[in-house]
């Protein structure tokens, strides 16, 4: 029974390390030269840069649409990175595949 507790503690430690690593990972997505969005591996927005050449009332709708699309693209990349880290962790731990668990 104590062996199982040690395995659980190892799992918890590895999950915490993976979460910390994901928080430090930065994923960038851009819409040409208009804007760049950076998120971390936990889908937190780190930065948004907008080219000042496009900041005008005439470009308002374009910027709003591009911001949504660029954010969604960055978050999707971050989710993929997160899922890859979880898959690596579960493979390293040799856990059985249980659909929906990770």
Every domain of the chain and the residues it spans: 2-92
Query: Which CATH fold would you assign to the domain 2-92?
Result: Ybab; Chain: A; (3.30.1310)
Instruction: Give the chain's mean pLDDT.
Output: 85
**Residues contacting 78, CB < 8 A, separation 6+:** 25, 27, 39, 40, 41, 42, 43
Task: Identify the pLDDT of residue 60.
Answer: 96
Percentage of the residues of the chain whose pLDDT score is greater than 70: 83
Task: Identify the pLDDT of residue 1.
Answer: 45
92 — pLDDT class (breaks 50, 70, 90)? low
């Amino acid at each position: 029974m104590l062996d199982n507790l040690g395995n659980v503690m190892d799992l918890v430690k590895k999950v915490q390390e993976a979460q910390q690593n994901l928080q430090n990972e930065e994923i960038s997505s851009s819409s040409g030269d208009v804007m760049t969005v950076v998120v971390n591996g936990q889908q937190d927005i780190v930065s948004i840069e907008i080219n000042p050449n496009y900041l005008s009332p005439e470009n308002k709708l374009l910027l709003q649409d591009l911001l949504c699309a660029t954010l969604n693209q960055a978050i999707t990349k971050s989710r993929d990175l997160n899922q890859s880290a979880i898959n690596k962790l579960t493979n390293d731990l040799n856990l059985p595949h249980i659909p929906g668990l990770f």
